[in-house]
Amino acid sequence: MHKLKVVKTSEGLAVLLPDEVVARLDLAEGAEVVLSEGAEGYTLGTERDRSERVRKATQKIFEHYSETLRDLAK
């Protein structure tokens, strides 16, 4: 867990990310991040992270329900 500092800019408020987080998310100035709210609280990531989570969840569904999906496709 990281504590983040909120600072005022000319355009509003900004959250300062530690270098470790910037490197982990592979961010550069101007990059877009996604803030998602879930049961556990908020998650900060990139669109790539979100796409990967969706892909993995879809794969699990297909694996778990493969027989049912096959029957439905008939």
Residue 46's domain comprises 5-73
What pLDDT shows up at residue 3?
87
φ/ψ (deg, to 5) at 31: -65, 150
State which H helix or E strand residue 9 sits in: strand 5-9
What pLDDT shows up at residue 5?
93
Query: 8: which 2 tokens?
Result: 């005022």
Domain count for the chain, please give it: 1
What pLDDT shows up at residue 50?
66
Q: What is the dihedral of CA 21, 27, 29, 33, to 10 degrees?
A: -90
- The pLDDT tens digits for 7-65 are 999 999 999 999 998 998 888 898 888 888 989 898 888 876 666 677 778 888 888 88
